[in-house]
Amino acid sequence: MAGLIERSDADGVAVLCLNRPEVLNALSPKLFEELRAHVDRLAGETATVGCVVLRGAGRSFSAGNDLRAIQAGERAVSLHFQAETLDRIERLPQPVIAAVQGHCYTGALELVLACDLLIAAESARFADTHGKFGMTPTWGMSQRLPRRIGPLREGVDVRRQAGERRRSRCARAREPLRAGRRARDPHPRLGARDRRELVVHPAHREGARSRR
C-alpha cells in the first residue's frame, strides 16, 4: 500500500513526494506523521544523501491543511507536532528544495517556507487563506515569511496568488496623484449629454474598468 509520503533516491538526492493527489495533497495529521519519520531518518543519512527535494503528486503541491480530516476528529500526536516538523526540516543538514506546481496554499505555504530553496513552475499559485477560515498561522509563517520577502510585501503578496500581473494596492497608493489626469465616465450606456470627464486616481480608473 502506497504511503502518504513516497520517498525515492537517486544519485545522492532524496525526493519526498506528498502522495494524496485525489485531495490535492491536503496536509492531514497522518501525513505529517509520515513526513516527520522521513525527515528524522534523513537527518542521519548525510553520508548517502546530499540533497532533499520536497514535491507533491499530481497537479498541485498541496492545497493546505486538511480541514475535513480535522473535522472528522483526526489529531496530531502533540499540540505543536506540525510546527516542530517544519523546524526539523529547517534544521536538516542537507539543503531542502521545494518543487512547487499548482496550488500551494496556507499550510502548504508554511511548509515550503521551511525549505532552503523554492522552485516554482509556471502553474504554481501561492496564497494564505488562514483568515478566510478564522485560523492563525501557527507553524512559523509569521516569522519565516517576512524574513524571506520583507515585512512590506508580506501583507500584500500573500493575499494575492502568484502569477497575477496587477500591481499591488500598496504600490499604487504610493504613486503621486497626477492632477489633471482624466478618464471617460465608466458608464458607456449614458447618453452624450450625461457624459462627464472625471479626474480620477489611476487606481480608481483601473477599478472602474474592471466593473464594466
pLDDT means over runs of 10, the chain (212 residues): 90 98 95 97 98 98 89 85 95 97 93 95 89 73 78 52 45 42 42 38 44 46
Give the span between the Cα atoms of 28 and 25, in whole angstroms: 9
Cell numbers at residue 28, please?
A: 492531514
Which residue ranges make up each domain of the chain?
5-166, 175-210
Give the span between the Cα atoms of 198 and 187, in whole angstroms: 12
The answer for 150, left when phi > 0, alpha when psi is -120 to 50, beta otherwise, is: left
pLDDT of residue 160: 52
Beta partners for residue 197, in sequence order: 184
* Contact between 102 and 61 (Cβ < 8 Å): yes
pLDDT of residue 1: 55
- DSSP type of residue 176: P
pLDDT of residue 153: 56
- DSSP type of residue 27: B
Domain 5-166 has CATH 3.90.226.10: yes
pLDDT of residue 154: 52
